[in-house]
Amino acid sequence: MKHKPVLALVAVFLLPPLLAWLVLAKGWFTPGVAGHGEWVNGNISAAGQWRLVLVTDDPCDYCAPAKSLLHNLDLALGRNEGRVMVTEQPASEQLEAGFVYIADPPGLLVMRYPMDKSAEQNRHTGKVLLEDLRRLLKYSRAG
């Protein structure tokens, strides 16, 4: 009888961490996805606003669909359209051809998304890029 309050206190304080460990150890919990693109590190020149950088190469079979996609993304941003600039740059050590990069106003590369000559694949890439860009613009006061 005397031990029931002590056992109850032990159960109240030890049971939740044990259950949390069990849920994580067994993989019953899937954490939310923060971004759809691939996180990258690197710098490019500062511009004072967010940028979508299309990296081009000489034989560029994805350039025309990618330019159209980026123009439509710029229009889809609505009132945030002025906060984002679309640019093209040639491939370099930090910028790999075949990708669209998101760069923040100080020039830090944030994420990249693959471009393809397939319109279907680019449509999917455009949707996830727009979602991530809107999230970045929502939480950023820069640009």
**What is the number of residues in the chain?**
143
Say what the pLDDT of residue 114 is.
Answer: 92
Q: Please report the pLDDT score of residue 50 as a whole number.
A: 94
Q: Return the CATH fold of 38-139.
A: Glutaredoxin (3.40.30)
Q: How far is CA 96 from CA 40, 70, 74, 76, 110, in A?
A: 11, 17, 22, 26, 14
Provide the pLDDT for residue 1: 64
pLDDT at 112: 94
Q: pLDDT (tens digit, 9 = 90+) per residue, 23-74?
A: 888 888 777 667 788 999 999 988 889 999 999 887 888 888 888 888 899 8
- Cα 88 from Cα 66, distance rounded (Å): 11
- H or E stretch including 55? strand 50-56
User: What's residue 74's pLDDT?
Assistant: 86
Domain extents for the chain?
1-31, 38-139
Q: Tens digits of per-residue pLDDT, 5-26?
A: 888 888 888 889 999 898 888 8
Radius of gyration of the chain (CA): 23
Q: Tell me how far apart the alpha carbons of residues 129 and 30 are, in angstroms, rounded to a whole number.
A: 22
C-alpha distance from residue 94 to each of 41, 55, 58, 115 (Å):
8, 10, 17, 17
